[in-house]
Chains A and B, each alone.
Chain A
Amino acid sequence: MSTAATADASSSGDTTEGSVRLLTLQSEDGEVFEVKETIATQSVTIKGMVDDDCATSTIPVCNVTGRTLAMVIEWWNKHEIGAVSNEKELKEWESQFDTIDDKSDRDDVYDLLMAANYLNIPTLLDCCTSAVAEAIKGKSTDEMREFFDIKSDFDEKEEDALRKENQWAFEN
């Protein structure tokens, strides 16, 4: 996945590009990104900082790595309000999450999910939760335990009884 900083690095936090203000975001591991304010305010958290005039210097994005932040920015660029987004392209980008059974893909989605939650980006949060839901909805209980790393605390008898109660839900 490519890094998606939108402008050359600059030291000042309130650089302008034309009439669009640029914000400087710094990831947990120190990577710096310059992002158009109009794009970054898709994050409710960042919008709050801009509205409160707290976004004049570098904004630290704790808990989010540079790799993940780059993915978030790529998402923002594709979802910029007013941009004529190419729906097909958007679907393609979203479809990369279709195979999240692969461990590294799953970790990417989890990272994005946590970032979307931290930065409060409802559309990205929706997209990630939907991707995971889509991937797990057909799983068996054992596969679910493995997927979420959960140990069952039902004993065998209890689980059997529960299964019998709603056998249809365990059949295809």
Chain B
Amino acid sequence: MVKLPEDMIIEILSILPVKSLIRFRCVCKSWYVEVQSRSFISKHLKNDHNIHLVIPHTKEEKDLFAYPNLSYTWFPDKTLGELSLQNFLPQIPIGGFFRGPFDGILCIIEKDISLYNIGTKELRTLPKILHYKGDWVGFGLDPVSNSYKLILVDTPYLKTREGSECRVSPIVVYTLNSDSWRNIEDSNISYIYDYFTGAESGTCLNGVCYWLSSYRDTKEAVIFPFHLGDEMSREIIKVPMQEKYGLSLGIYNESLSLLHMHYVTKCVDMWVMNQGCWTKQLTVGPLVGLDVCHPLGFWKRGSFFLNAVNPDKKGGCYMGEQVILYDPSSTHNTKYSCVFTGYMVMNLLIYKESLVNIKGDDH
């Protein structure tokens, strides 16, 4: 019988679901140590296995404005071809409102703020801070301190409208290693006007969290970054388009990327940022026959989701939206397929299973 070398076995283990790995830690001591090592956790996080799509929607048209009754349909299979729809919410132990997931971890905001690793079922309640709504939330690994950090931003737009001044500062950062909060004074936030629906959970990449936003004065779309290392925004990032509609921010090929839908030409552009410059990677379309509303985000290997009006209209009535998966590299005649139909599909969550330890036992 062929026996696999250790590094091949680790290669295989690194693409397994979290539940299997929690179980397989008990196989032997070396596996137990390996599965909890930082290098393994990071390797496990980097591949595109064990990624799930979660679509928030309402069940029926009459629930249109029933935000709390939003259902979360979970595609538990790694391939969207084999649908077995499940409700995602039972995965979360406590109610309340959440942002994320970021690296498999949700930030749950209720009376307390908690972090929850969906895969390992670990829950950590954070020390109390003054009330934050968490208009923007980001969570990512700071490569400088090698600690995960949570960042909450209350955008000035909402602050002004409600006139509440219960906070010292609109930005707070929580550091997992030290289990402590810090208030941040960052003048750049005052140039920012509002936020985008579906963009409340920041995109975190290489120690920086990014949110799609727009300038207060010109209303031009921009990206607000926050560097987890030095805990500041440094510089607001301009985007290559003027209008702030039809945009979605995400990660493609390890780079910050934007999807941009042109409503007139019915084409979608994919922009990628490399060394501070935006490059148009790809234009797809015109998407004839699709009543596309806006891009929803990236999936695997350069494919992405769009939402479109359900064409199956009964007597011209609103019949909800479709989630369309567009795969530019597909060899089929039509490069897109509908993966889901429901009401009030405004955004979607991509959940990547992770072993990231939020208990902090190893620190």
Contacts and interface: CB of A to CB of B under 8 A. Distances in A.
Interface of A: 84-85, 87, 103, 106-107, 110-111, 113-114, 117, 125, 129-130, 132-133, 136-141, 144-145, 148-154, 159, 162-163, 166, 168-170
B331 interface: yes
B161 interface: no
Contacts of B49: 130, 133
A138 B26 contact: no
B12 interface: yes
Contact of A141 (B2, B8, B26): B26
Given A87-B331, A114-B8, A129-B11, A150 B27 contact: yes
Contact of A84 (B3, B23, B28, B331): B331
Nearest to A151: B28
Given A111-B2, A133-B49, A153 B8 contact: no
Contacts of A162: 25-26, 32
B19 interface: yes
B328 interface: no
14 contacts: A87-B331, A111-B2, A129-B12, A130-B49, A133-B15, A133-B49, A137-B16, A139-B20, A144-B24, A148-B3, A148-B9, A150-B28, A152-B26, A166-B23
Interface string B109-129: 000000000000100000000
Name, among B3, B15, B23, B32, the residue most crowded by chain A CB atoms within 10 Å (CB to CB).
B23
A169 B19 contact: yes
A78 to B, nearest CB: 13
Given A141-B27, A150-B27, A159-B26, A136 B19 contact: no
B49 to A, nearest CB: 7
B17 interface: yes
Interface residues of B, number: 26
B17 to A, nearest CB: 6
Interface string B317-333: 00000000000000100
Interface string B11-46: 110011101101111111101100000000000000
Contacts of B166: none
Interface of B: 1-4, 8-9, 11-12, 15-17, 19-20, 22-29, 31-32, 49, 121, 331
Contact of B17 (A132, A137, A139, A166): A137
Nearest to B25: A162
Contact of A144 (B1, B4, B22, B27): B27
A154 B32 CA distance: 10
B29 A168 contact: no
Nearest to A144: B27
Given A85-B331, A110-B4, A168-B121, A141 B23 contact: yes
B28 A154 contact: yes
B16 A133 contact: yes
A136 B2 contact: no
A166 B170 CA distance: 39
A113 B4 CA distance: 9
A168 B19 CA distance: 8
Given A130-B49, A137-B16, A117 B8 contact: yes
A139 B49 CA distance: 18
A113 B25 CA distance: 23
A156 to B, nearest CB: 11
B26 A163 contact: yes
Nearest to B120: A166
A153 B25 contact: no
Given A130-B49, A136-B12, A170 B23 contact: yes
B29 A153 contact: yes
A166 to B, nearest CB: 5
Given A148-B27, A152-B28, 11 more contacts: A107-B2, A114-B2, A117-B8, A133-B16, A133-B49, A139-B20, A141-B27, A145-B27, A150-B27, A166-B121, A170-B23
A124 B28 CA distance: 29
Name, among A87, A159, A169, the residue most crowded by chain B CB atoms within 10 Å (CB to CB).
A169
A94 to B, nearest CB: 12
A168 B23 CA distance: 9
Contacts of A113: 4, 8
Nearest to A85: B331
A13 to B, nearest CB: 30
Nearest to A145: B27
